[in-house]
Structure 1
Amino acid sequence: MSIRGPQALASLEDAMRDIRREEDELSKRVARAAERLSKTREHEAELFRQLARLRLDPAVQAELDGRISGAEAKARDMLKAHAKDVSKAEKSISALDSNRSALADKRAEALKLLEEQQAALAALSAAQVAKLAADPAFVAQRRETEELDHIAEQSMRKTEQAEADREEKGRPYREDPLFMYLWDAGYGTSTYKAGNLTRYFDGMVANLVRFAKARPNYAMLNEIPLRLREHAELQEANVSAAEARLVAMETAAVDAAGGKPIRQAIAQAQAEIARLDAEITAIEDQRDAAATALQALADGRDPAFENAASELAAALGREDIQTLLDEARKTHTGQDDTIVAQIDDARSRIREEEQESREVKERLKTLADRRRELEDIQWEFKKQRFDDPGSSFKEDRLVGDLLNDFLRGGISAASYWDQWRRSQNWAPGAEWGAGYKPTRQSSSSNPWPPSGGGFQWPDSSIGGSSGRKSKPSSGGFGGGWGGSSGGSSGGGFSRPRTGSSGTRKTGGFKTGGGF
C-alpha cells in the first residue's frame, strides 16, 4: 500500500511530537531526581546531627553541627533557586513547542490549499488537451521538441560511450610509468621545457616506448570525449529551449482559459509554505538550545547548585563523621541502631537515585540525538518536496515498522532517509506541463511550476521508448521553492543549524514511552 506525501510528512510530525513529549518527561524526571537527592542528603545531615547529640560532648557536637548546618542551608537555598530555573526552562520549552505546533498546523492548511489549487489547475489543463492537440503550431513545436530530445539522447549516449572507452582503452597508457612521465612533462609539445642532458635521455625513453606514435593516439582518446561532451551539452541547451517554448504555449493556453489566477495562488501557497518552514526551523533551533540548557540544569551542572551539593556531600563524608558512624555501629543501643539504619537507608536511596538518574540521562541524550536526526530527515523531506500532493511512496512501512526501527536505533538516519528516497514516486504530471515528458536523464530546466497539474499526454507522445527517467524538478517545500534540489545521497543531511551542540549518533536505544 502506498502513502501520499502529505500523509507521510504528517506521520513524521506525529513521531516528532512523541519524541519531544518523552524528551520533556525525561528532563523532568532528571530534574526531580536531583531535587530528591538534595533533600535526601538534607535528611542524612539531620540524622547525623541526631547521632552527634547522642554520642558527642556538647563542644564537639556544636562544631560538627555548625559545619553540617552551614552546608545544608547553602544546599537548601540553591535547591530553591535551581527549582525555579528548571521551572522557567520547562515553561520556555513548552511555549516553543506550542508555537511550533501552531506553525505546523498552519503549514498543513497551506499544503491543503496548495493541493486544492493544483487540482483546479489540473482540471483546467485537462480541458485544453484536445485544443492543443489540434493546434498546428503546438503540434509542430512538440514534434521539434521530440526530435531535439532524441538528438540529445543519442548525443549523450555517444558521449558516455566515448568516456567509457577513454577509461578502458586509456588504462594501458596510464599504467606505463615511462609513457606517463613523458606525457606529464609535455614531451613532443611546445610546453616541454628541459635542459639538453634531460632532453637527450628523454629522447632515449621516447624511442624505447615509441612515444611519438602513442602520444597522438592517447591525446585523441582524451580529446574525443571532451568534444562530444561539449556537443551533448549544446544539444541539452537546445532541447531545454524547445521545452521552454512548448511549456510557454501550454501556459498561454491555460492562462487564456483562466489559469493565471490559479497559478498565482499556487505560487502564493508555495511562498507561504517556505515562510512557515523558515519559522519552524528557527523555533526548532531555539528549542534545541533550550533543551540543552534544561538538560544541563537537570544534570545539576549549574555551577552554584553543583558546588552547594558537593559541599554538603563533602561535609557528610568527612573522616570525623565516618568515625562517628563506625562507632555507632559497634554499640548496640536502641536509639543508635535506629538512626544508623535510617542513615543506611538514606544512602541506599541516594545510590539507587544516582544510578537511575545516570540511566535516564543517557537515554535523554540519545533521545535528543534522535530528535535532531528526525529534524534533519524532515528538512530533506521538505527540501526534495516529497510532501507535495503529487508525491507518493510505494512502501507504507516507512511510517510503520521502519519508522519504529529508526526510533529504536535499529537503523541509522542515513539508511532510513535512503529508503524514503528509493521508495518515492511522482504522479503523472507532477513535474511537467501539457503532456510533455522529457526522456533525458539530465534535464536541467523546468519552466512549469512544480506540481503544476499540467496536461497529460499518452506516454508515447514524447520519446517514450527510450526508457530514460527525468529528474524531479528543482525547488520544493521547506528546502526552498526555487532552490536547488540537490538532495543528500546516502544520508548526508544539509539542514542548517544555529549553534547546536548535538551530535548524530546511530547507536541502538529504547525509550521508555511509545517507542
Structure 2
Amino acid sequence: MSIRGPEALASLDEAMRDIRREEEDITKRLARSAEKVGKIKETEAELFRQLAQLRLDPAVQGELDGRISAAEAKARDMLKMHAKDLGKAEQDIAELDAALARLTAERTEALRVFEGHQTELKALAARLGATIAKEPGFAAKRSQASELAAVAAQSMRKTEQAEADREEKGKPYRDDPLFMYLWEAGYGTASYRANNFIRYLDGLVANLVGFQKARPNFAMLNEIPLRLREHAERQIENAKAAEAELDALETAAIDNAGGKPMRDAMEAAQQKIDAFDAEIVAIEDRRDETAKALTTLSQGGNPAFEGALTELATALGREDIQTLLAEARRTRTGQDDTIVAQIDDARARAKEEEGETRELNERLKTLAARRRELEDIQWEFKKQRFDDPRSTFREDKLVGDLLNDFLRGGISAASYWDQWQRSQNWSAGTSDWGGGVGLPNNGRRSSSPWPDNGGSTFNWPDSSFGGGSGKSKPRGNSGGFGGGWGGGSSSGGGFSRPRTGSQGTRKHSGFKTGGGF
C-alpha cells in the first residue's frame, strides 16, 4: 500500500517527537540520579559523624566533624543551585519543543492550503488541456521539444556505450604495467621528458610491448567518450531550453484562463512553508545545543557542584575516617554494626546509581545521534519536495517496520534514506503538462491533464543533468515541482542539512507553482 508525501512526513515528525520525549525522560532520570547520589553522600557523611561520636574522643571527633560538616554544607548549597540551573535548562527545552510543535502544525496547515490551490490549478489545466494542446504554436513547440529530448537521449546512450567500451576494451592496456608506464610518461608525445639513457631504455620497452601501434588505439578509446559526453551535454541543454519555452507557453495559457491568482496563492503558501522550514531548522539547532547543556547538568556536570561533591567525597575518603570504619568493622557492638551496615548500604546504592547513570548516558548518546540523523532525513525529504501532496511512496513499510529498524539502529540513516528515494514517485499530473517531452520517470510516465501524451519516453541515466537520481520530478521554475531535467539528490544517503556554524542555509525553489505541475 502506498503512502502520500504529507502523511509520510507526518510519520517522521511523530518519530522525532518520540525521540525528543525519550531524551527528555532520560535527562530527568539522570538528574534525579545525580541528586540522589548527592543525598547519599550527605547520608554517608552523617553516618560517619554518628560513628565518630561513638568511637572517638571529643577533640578528634570535633576536628573530623568540622571537616565533614564544611564539605557537607557546601555540597548542600551547590545541590540547590544545581537544581535551579537544571530546572532552567529543562524549561528551555520545553519551550523549544513547544515552538517546534507549533511550527510543525502551522507548516502542515500551510501545506494543506497549498494543496487546495494546487488541486484548483490542476482542475483548470484539465479543462483547458484539449484546447491548448491543439493550438498550432503549442503543438509545434511540443514537437520540437520532443525531438530535442529524443536527440539528447540518443546522444547520452551513445556516450554510455562508448564509456562502457572504454572500461572493457581498455582493461588489457591498463593491466599492462609496461604499457601504462610509457603512457603515463607521455612516451611518443611532445610532453615526454627524459635523458638520452632513459630514452634508449624506454625505446627498448616500447618495441617489446608494441607501444607505437597500441598507443593510438588506447588514446581513441579514452578520447571518444569525452567528445561524445560534451556533445550529449550540449544536446541536453538544447532540450532543457526547449522545455523551458514550452513551460512558458503552458503557463501563459493557464494564466490567461484565470490561473495566475491560483499560482500566486500557491507561491504565497510556499513562501510560508519555506519560512517555517528555516525557523524549524534554527530552533532544532538551538534545541540541540540546549539538550547538550541539559545532559551535562543532568549528569552533575556543573563545575561548582562537582567541586562540592568532590570535597565531600575527599572528606569521607580521608585515611582517619577509613581507619575509623575499619576499626568499627573489627569490633562487635550493636550500634557500630548498625551504622557500618548503613554506610555499606549507602555506598552500594551510590554504586548502583552510578551504573545506571552509565547506561542512561549511552542511551542518551544513541538517541541524540538518531535525532540528528532523522533531522538530516527530514531536511532531504523537504529539499526533494517529497512532502508535496502528489508525491507518493510505494512502500508503506517506510513509516512502519523500516522506520523502527532505523530507530533501533538496525539500518543506517543512509540506507533508510536511500529506500525513501527508491520508493518515491509522482502521482498523476505531476509530470509535464503536454507529455510530449518524454521526461524521465524510471521508464514510467505519470498521466497528464492533456489528452495527448505523444512524444518519446526514455530514462535518463543517473549521471545526466548533474547527477540526478533518474526520477522525474514535477517541473517548475528553477527546479521546483516540474520536469526531470534538474538533478535530484544523489542516492547513497549523502546529507546536506546545515548545522549551527555551517555556511549558509538551505535554499530551494519551492513547490511547483506554474507551467505544468
TM-score normalised over the length of structure 2: 0.87
Distance in structure 2 (CA, Å) of the matches to 1:228 and 1:118: 41
1:335 and 2:328 correspond: no
**Match for residue 500 of structure 2 among 498, 501, 504:** 498
Cα 1:253–1:475, aligned 2, differ >3 Å: closer, same or farther? closer
Deviation of 1:211 after TM superposition, in Å, equals: 3.4
Does 403-412 or 491-500 show the bigger shift?
A: 491-500
Amino acid at match of 1:421: Q
Following TM superposition, the consecutive aligned residue runs of length 4 or more in structure 1 with deviations greater than 6 angstroms are 479-482
Residues 52, 324 of structure 2: 8 Å contact kept: yes
Q: State the distance in 2 between where 1:315 and 1:480 align.
A: 68
Deviations 1:450-504 (A, max 9, x none): x9x9734455x1213x46685344999xx9999x85525322222111169xxxx
Task: Give 1:77's aligned residue.
Answer: 77
Q: TM-score, normalised by structure 1?
A: 0.88
Of stretches 360-369 and 27-36 in structure 1, the one that deviates more from structure 2 is 360-369
RMSD between aligned residues: 2.7
Which structure 2 segments of 5+ residues have no match? 462-469, 503-517
Residues 103-146 of structure 1: CA distance to partner in whole angstroms, max 9, x if unpaired?
11111111111111111111111111110232122222222222
Q: Deviations over 1:314-341 (max 9, x none)?
A: 2112222122223223333333333223
**Aligned partners of 1:32 and 1:480: how far apart in 2?**
50
Amino acid at match of 2:288: D
Give the structure 1 partner of residue 300 of structure 2.
Answer: 300
- 1:17-71 deviation digits (Å, cap 9, x = unpaired): 1111111111011111111111121111112111211221110110110010011
**Which residue does 1:41 correspond to in 2?**
41
2:288 matched residue in structure 1: 288
Q: For residues 133 and 69 of structure 1, do their structure 2 counterparts lie closer, same or farther at Cα, with a shift above 3 Å needed?
A: same
What CA distance in whole angstroms lies between the structure 1 residues aligned with 2:368 and 2:417?
18
Deviation at 1:204, TM superposition (A): 4.1
User: 1:261 matched to which residue of 2?
Assistant: 261
What residue is the counterpart of 1:398 in the other structure?
Answer: 398
Query: How far, CA to CA, are the matches of 1:347 and 1:189 in structure 2?
Result: 82
Q: How many Å separate the matches in 2 of 1:480 and 1:149?
A: 20
Q: Which amino acid aligns with 2:427?
A: A
2:426–2:473 contact (8 Å) kept in structure 1:
no
Question: After the TM superposition, which residues 122-271 of structure 1 pair with which residues of structure 2 at under 5 Å, given as runs?
Answer: 122-271=122-271
Aligned to 2:466: none
The equivalences for 1:423-502 within 5 A come to 423-439=423-439, 455-457=449-451, 459=453, 461-464=454-457, 466=458, 471-473=471-473, 486-498=488-500
Q: Determine the structure 1 residue equivalent to 2:105.
A: 105
For 1:455, give the aligned amino acid. P
Report the Cα distance in structure 1 between the residues aligned to 2:197 and 2:285, rounded to whole angstroms. Answer: 67
Residue-by-residue CA offset, 1:192-241 (whole Å, 9 max, x unaligned):
44444444444444444333333333333222222222222222122222
Amino acid of the residue matched to residue 45 of structure 1?
Answer: A
How big is the shift at 1:426? 1.1
Counterpart-to-counterpart distance in 2, 1:116 and 1:456: 21
Q: Measure, in 2, the Cα distance between the counterparts of 1:349 and 1:280.
A: 42
Decide whether the 8 Å contact of 1:2 with 1:396 is kept in 2. yes
Q: Secondary structure at the match of 2:258?
A: coil
Q: Which residue of 2 aligns with 1:354?
A: 354
d(CA) in 1 for partners of 2:456, 2:45: 86
Aligned residue for 2:392, secondary structure, equals: strand
Structure 1 residue 435, shift from structure 2 partner: 2.9
2:172 maps to amino acid: P
Say whether the 8 Å CA contact 1:156–1:232 is kept in structure 2: yes
Alignment of 1:319 with 2:319, yes or no, is yes
* 1: CA distance, partners of 2:481 / 2:317: 63
Aligned match of 1:503 = none
CA distance in 2 between partners of 1:432 and 1:204 (Å): 62
> Cα gap change, 1:72/1:215 in structure 2, threshold over 3 Å: closer, same or farther?
same
CA distance in 2, matches of 1:362, 1:251: 55
Q: 1:335 to 1:263 in 2, by over 3 A?
A: same
Q: Residue deviations 1:409-455, cap 9 Å, x none? A: 2222222222211211111332433334534589xxxxxxxx9x973
SS in 2 for 1:430: coil
Q: Which of 73-82 and 417-426 deviates more?
A: 417-426
Written as runs of structure 1 = structure 2, the 5 A alignment for 1:2-17 is 2-17=2-17
Task: Tell me which residue corresponds to 1:445.
Answer: none
> Deviations along 1:77-103, whole A, 9 cap, x unmatched?
111110011001001111111111111
Determine the C-alpha separation between the residues in 1 that align with 2:448 and 2:276.
26
Distance 2:350 2:37 in 1: 6
| Residues in 1 aligned to 2:196 and 2:501: alpha-carbon distance in whole angstroms | 61
Cα distance in 1 for residues equivalent to 2:176 and 2:63: 89
After the TM superposition, which of the residue ranges 380-389 and 263-272 deviates more from structure 2?
263-272
Identity of aligned residues (%): 66
Q: State the Cα distance separating 1:189 from its structure 2 match.
A: 3.4
- Please tell me whether the aligned partners of residues 130 and 450 of structure 2 are also in contact (alpha carbons under 8 angstroms): no
Deviations 1:351-403 (A, max 9, x none): 22222222222212211111111111111111111111111111111111221
Asked whether the equivalents of residues 247 and 434 of structure 1 are also in contact (C-alpha less than 8 Å), the reply is no
- Closer, same or farther: CA 441–385 of 1 in aligned 2, 3 Å: closer
- Secondary structure (helix, strand or coil) at the match of 1:498 reads coil
Q: Which residue of 2 aligns with 1:506?
A: none
More displaced stretch, 139-148 vs 328-337: 328-337
Q: Distance in 2 between matches of 1:475 and 1:134?
A: 22
Distance in 2, Cα, partners of 1:103 & 1:480: 23
The number of aligned residues is 487
How far is 1:408 from its partner?
Answer: 1.8
Q: Distance in 2 between matches of 1:456 and 1:371?
A: 44
1:165 & 1:183 partners in 2: Cα distance? 19
- Paired AA for residue 316 in structure 1: L
After superposition, residues 409-424 of structure 1 pair within 5 angstroms as: 409-424=409-424
Aligned to 1:140, the other structure's residue is in SS state helix
CA contact (8 A) 1:31 1:297 kept: yes
User: Match of 2:381?
Assistant: 381
| 1:258-304 CA-partner distances (Å, limit 9, x unpaired) | 11121122222222211211111111110000010011111112111
Distance 2:411 2:440 in 1: 34
Q: Distance between the aligned counterparts of 2:68 and 2:421, measured in 1? A: 62
- Secondary structure of 1:494's counterpart equals coil
The amino acid that maps onto 1:138 is F
1:346 maps to a residue whose letter is A
Q: Distance in 2 between matches of 1:80 and 1:475?
A: 60
